[in-house]
Amino acid sequence: MTEDADQYQTHRIAAEVRPAGSLEVLNPFNLHPIATVDTVDLEGVEQALAVADACYRQRDGWLPDFERMAILRRAAELMATRIEELALLIAREGGKPLVDARVEAERAVDGLRCCAELPRHSGGREVPMQATAAGAGRWAFSTHEPIGPVVAISAFNHPLNLIVHQVAPAIAAGCPVIIKPAEDTPLSCLRFIDLLREAGLPSAWAQALVTDSPATAEALATDPRVAFLSFIGSARVGWHLRSRLAAGARCALEHGGAAPVLVDRGVDLQQVVPLLAKGGLYHAGQVCVSVQRVYAHQDQALSLAQALAEAAAGMQVDDPNLAETAIGPLIRPAEVKRVDQWVREAVGQGATLLCGGEPLSRTCYAPTVLFDPPMTAKVSTQELFGPVICVYPYLEVDAAIEAANALPFAFQASVFTRELAYARHAASRLAASAVMINDHTAFRTDWMPFAGLRQSGLGTGGMPYTFEDMRIEKLVVWRAD
């Protein structure tokens, strides 16, 4: 292990559990080891589930709203004093450039503050009983309870903020939660669990672990004691886990997409290009709603693509810990090889390569712009998850919309135009859960709805929506003679 490596990291299970093995965490830029984290097997999973289940079953031990709110507020205050420390950790384990890692850490603080306020605005409602003779003499109202133990399985690309999105709403709702972070980026998660405990959360209410195999992770997610599964990751794994959930378990799945952008004729390229470059190349394109497919009117499609290429070529690819770095590494060398294969396939089938198109190292890929790749190429039909933007010319906007909607994914889309009629037409016809007007597809605030449609996911993310998913509305009907 290198000199700058963190100390050995144990699991965060609130019980005595013997580790099954260990996992070496690598810096994705230079592949140097930065920490060793222990893993757990089925025995460890059983212990974590038993703790969470006992918390939920012992109703007298449920934490009241005001206490959970206070814990989340204290956690936010603690996190706000450690932005730089957390940003460095995000950059080290996930490869996100430091300037963007700071933004992620600040968003995580804001997310905690948002969740701390959710119970304050979550009252029940009266159900009218006097509307029918059968209901006469009765009074009915609803209240809320936590749904039960939550299991959250997370992804690598936002190793702190995604964890906050899954864990903080569970705490706000009063659910015991077990989080399994991505194997590539477990350190931010473990640090966050420690921070929650420092803020006063009893250890049994939020546990974290890394499993020794996919089979063990599946056993965790599909155990009958799990009331809710929050999954962020690949569609293949997410849909499989959904099919294996215990009867009655609910879930939310967040997968990826191939985000489309429509660009009207006559837009100011100087305003559009920086937004598209950031939206497509941010975090080396490893974002589920990264700009991937740009449909531009043929009058300026090539000019737009060339301007994008110029912008991309000027973005520095380097160590994410350097202040001037705009684009860092892909999470694993295998991803560099995959992206390169897809780009070479597209060029071989007729796409014009305007910039990039080659690995810069085992871990970094040059930001790439392709003009008019075939609609059948992988870059046109599958989620790229790499620093590549494709530009396609169109003559009629409805043909571009048809192409944008042709894939089995639907997440966020965007439209650039100066015409209200064009914006309304496109927004009403794009297959997407959210359409940004004159902004890139990766825009998000953490309290807005965030939902993958079709193969892109199930349910609605965003702090208030996840909070509601993790609660049960219970009706009380009072007969008053």
Catalytic site residues?
254, 288
Rounded Cα–Cα distance for residues 179 and 189 (Å): 8
Closest to 418 (Cα-Cα) out of 438, 447, 404:
438
Q: What are phi and psi of 241, to 5 degrees?
A: -65, -40
Express the helix, strand and coil content of the chain in percent, nearest 5 each: 40, 20, 35
CA angle 469, 475, 480 (to 5 degrees): 165
Question: How would you classify the pairing of strands 352-355 and 453-454?
Answer: unpaired
Closest to 228 (Cα-Cα) out of 237, 216, 241, 211:
241
Rounded Cα–Cα distance for residues 287 and 278 (Å): 11
Closest to 41 (Cα-Cα) out of 66, 1, 13:
13
DSSP letter at 184 equals T
Q: First CA to last CA across the chain, in angstroms?
A: 74
Rounded Cα–Cα distance for residues 207 and 54 (Å): 13
For CA atoms 209, 194, 245, 51, give the dihedral sign.
Answer: positive
Two structure tokens written together for 312: 């991309």
| Alpha helix (H) residue ranges in 362-435 | 378-381, 397-404, 420-429
Where does residue 388 rank: exposed (0-12), middle (13-18), buried (19+ CB within 10 A)?
A: buried
Closest to 438 (Cα-Cα) out of 274, 299, 203, 293:
274
CA angle 207, 208, 211 (to 5 degrees): 130
Whose tokens are 């050995």? That residue is: 8
